[in-house]
A and B are shown apart, each in its own frame.
Chain A
Amino acid sequence: MEAFVRHAGTAAPLRRSNVDTDQIIPAEYLKRITRHGFEDGLFAQWRKDPDFVLNRDEHQGVSILIAGPDFGTGSSREHAVWALQNYGFRVVISSRFADIFRGNSGKGGLLTALVDQSAVERLWDLVEARPDTVVTVDLEHRTITAGDITVDFDVDDYVRWRLMEGLDDIGLTLQHADAITRFESERPEYKPTVV
């Protein structure tokens, strides 16, 4: 996984709450068996509206999404993370993320920056008024800087470390294969197997 330390780019304001993963990528797009090419399904229904924020000229080339509370609710589909990344997003900013979506993002290298709703509103107002504003997300210092706004964001310490190092999660667990084997040797025999 590519390490993430700092990212600067323009941002799109998504003024909606409860953006569920069925909106981020509808089920009909989940049939691919690769990890790429999901950008066409990103917000597929909403993008049919020419006025949708990602369709506007002033928000082309964005890499940061600023969304309302409860972003990523619903289905566990990691395709939602891939769709955002395939489209070009590196960061999503919100005041509340659904647990599974946030976990999936951390695995895939998409940063979910948690801030107060008041900070979301200020960032929305700023990037709507000046869409070319460069927003800098600094994972090392946990800060978001845009225009004269500087806010701290919250991210899990362990996820931050892994993202900054670009580490393979499975490789980390396999370093403890002996502990897993030891645990398995002590499992009760009444635990079922599928065979």
Chain B
Amino acid sequence: MGRTLAEKVWDDHVVRRADGEPDLLYIDLHLVHEVTSPQAFDGLRETGRPVRRPDLTLATEDHNIPTIDVDMPIADPISRAQVEALRKNCADFGIRLYSLGNREQGIVHVVGPQLGLTQPGMTVVCGDSHTSTHGAFGALAFGIGTSEVEHVLATQALPLKPFKTMAITVDGELPAGVTAKDIILAVIARIGTGGGQGYVLEYRGSAIRSLSMEGRMTICNMSIEAGARAGMVAPDETTFAYLEGRDHAPRGEEWKRALDYWRTLGTDPDAEFDAEVVIDASTLSPYVTWGTNPGQGLSLSSVVPDPSDAADDVERVAIERALEYMDLVPGTPLREIPIDTVFIGSCTNGRIEDLRAAAEVMKGRTVKDGMRVLVVPGSARVRLQAESEGLDAVFLDAGAEWRGAGCSMCLAMNPDKLAPGERSASTSNRNFEGRQGPGGRTHLVSPAVAAATAVAGHLASPEDLGA
């Protein structure tokens, strides 16, 4: 029987296989950031273990750092200590680090792909659940905890039990205005936050094939929000065109050999998945979340759900709690929900294509009075690229703020946060209670919907803005 993409990549990385034990899997690339690594480095010091492959390990500063006044010392002393710990750890153990101020600095999941470090058929890990992003290249990429970070630093391998495989097939033509973010929000709403638990998701079908690498990264990024460790897209000409010529992509004969291998990775026609979900792309529309987990999403044209319509008690209580936290009344049209803050950025939607989509909507328009709009590029390179295209001027002219690269308001670990009671439309990945700041309320949206919302003052799609 044939094998799936995930199974092929897995099989090609098995260092050791024994009955009754997990497979020992080799890790091709280990990405590191300041939040989940300090205790791992301390563990190495305590046991006297070196980093086995510094040349396969790359660190960047992203979670804690400010996105304004980046030339100043970090104001919060605890954040500063954590960033300084990373700098010391990388110096002590010989790991390359892209610090704040370096032109390669940025969110770890934006930096890897743009450097060409993320390639088809690789295993990629990071102490960050959104490592699933890198699966867009046909890599097997997943988030790990700090103990596993230490494990990979020391051994460049991880003991793992094989995942199950799930095909998510999105066939048909996407209606105008429907983006990768809308696809993944619809997928999560369909299968739920636990639906992908234990699986690697493989996104397939003509609608996925038609997406750019940026769009595929947005989709794979949020696989974890469906409970899956990893999401993947088989590499194709779009992938190869994106990679060719990038800093760390193979060149010359190596490129040809790599291409030959990459072309073998796609799921075999006779391979079987453990589960399958099929979505008709033509039925999709812009999606937004109304609740406090990413599975609580609906089409923008819907109304706030009623707990009494819930399938069971667990769901009913979950809806009631979410509506209470979000301060929403059942039956309210989602388009009528007023918004005071818009965040455009994150490892989900902080790439150049995302900024272009937002700028296209904001161009020649003005954000609503009193609206705070943060536009935060995912990396310093994305920032420079956007500036070379004049996108910064579009955002600034519209009344938005143009920031430096980082995780910013995705997770309330740096100065960019919601105040209690504030309500955002956010292109990030999590609408958990307090995720963007204690007491803050989050609606997850695409960059186009975020930009339209910034102008309209309530949840809106670009068509709502008129000419």
> Is B293's CB within 8 Å of the partner chain A?
yes
- Neighbouring B residues of A195 by C-beta, 8 Å: 55, 96
B259 closest partner in A (C-beta): A190
A90 lies within 8 A of chain B by Cβ: no
Q: Tell yes or no: B162 within 8 A of A by CB.
A: no
Listed by A's residue number, 24 A-B pairs whose Cβ atoms lie within 8 Å are A16-B317, A16-B321, A22-B411, A23-B432, A26-B434, A26-B438, A27-B411, A31-B82, A33-B85, A35-B39, A76-B36, A76-B129, A100-B145, A100-B224, A104-B148, A117-B314, A170-B155, A172-B159, A174-B154, A180-B15, A188-B261, A189-B254, A192-B119, A194-B29
Q: Is the CB of B24 within 8 A of A194?
A: no
Contact with B along A5-41 (1 / 0, CB 8 A): 0000000000111101011001110111111000000
Besides the known contacts A69-B314, A190-B250, A194-B29, 9 further A-B residue pairs in the complex with CB atoms under 8 A apart: A31-B76, A32-B82, A74-B432, A170-B154, A173-B158, A179-B24, A180-B15, A193-B248, A195-B55
Contact A107 B119 (CB under 8 A): no
Stretch of B56-64, B330-338, B397-405 contacting A (4+ beta carbons < 8 Å): B56-64
Q: Are A69 and B254 in contact (CB under 8 A)?
A: no
Neighbouring A residues of B413 by C-beta, 8 Å: 27-28, 30-31
Please list the residues of chain B having a beta carbon within 8 angstroms of any beta carbon in chain A: 15-16, 20-22, 24, 26, 28-29, 35-36, 38-39, 42, 47, 49, 52, 55-58, 63-64, 76, 78-79, 81-82, 85, 96, 116-117, 119, 122, 127-129, 143-148, 150-151, 154-159, 161, 193-194, 197-198, 224-225, 227, 229, 248-250, 254-255, 257-258, 261, 292-293, 314, 317-318, 321, 411-413, 430, 432-435, 438
Bound CA span A163–B148, Å: 16
Quick check: A17 and B318 within 8 Å, CB to CB?
Answer: yes
Question: For the complex, would chain A's binding face be called helix, strand, loop or mixed by DSSP majority?
Answer: loop
- What CA separation (Å) do A156 and B292 show in the bound complex? 30
In this complex, how many residues of chain A approach chain B with their Cβ under 8 Å: the count is 60
Q: A76-B143, A179-B24 are in contact. Are A70 and B433 (CB under 8 A)?
A: no
Chain A residues lying within 8 Å of B293, measured Cβ to Cβ, are 18, 20, 73
- Interface pair A31/B81, CB less than 8 Å apart: yes
Give A contacts to B, CB under 8 Å. Answer: 15-18, 20, 22-23, 26-28, 30-35, 45, 68-70, 73-79, 81, 96, 98-100, 103-104, 107-108, 117, 156-158, 169-170, 172-174, 176-177, 179-180, 183-184, 187-195
